[in-house]
Amino acid sequence: MAHALIRILTRTWLALDNCDNPASHVQKVTVRDTKAPIFLTTPTDLTVNCDEVPPLFTRKWMTIVIQMFW
């Protein structure tokens, strides 16, 4: 298993009542990505002349699956 990527988001929520009294709350969201990327398709092998080499990034070959938890 690959190492998990961990990102910590900090959100500060603010509120005012009818008399403009403030209140705040800090929320910490830990995002842990433990899923490796998956290939939906892969490029096929090619044999070409040296002046016919296709550009490197012509298609999106990989999609990373991301799950959001709220």
pLDDT above 80: residue 55: no
Nearest to 6 by CA among 43, 25, 33, 36: 33
Nearest to 69 by CA among 32, 25, 27: 32
Mean pLDDT across the chain: 77
Per-residue pLDDT, 66:
44
Higher pLDDT, 69 or 34: 34
Nearest to 66 by CA among 34, 39, 30: 34
- pLDDT band at 57, cuts 50/70/90? low
Structure tokens at 34: 């433990």
Per-residue pLDDT, 19:
95
What is the C-alpha to C-alpha distance for residues 45 and 1, in angstroms, rounded to an integer? Answer: 28
Comparing 1-10, 23-32, 38-47, which segment has the lowest mean pLDDT? 1-10
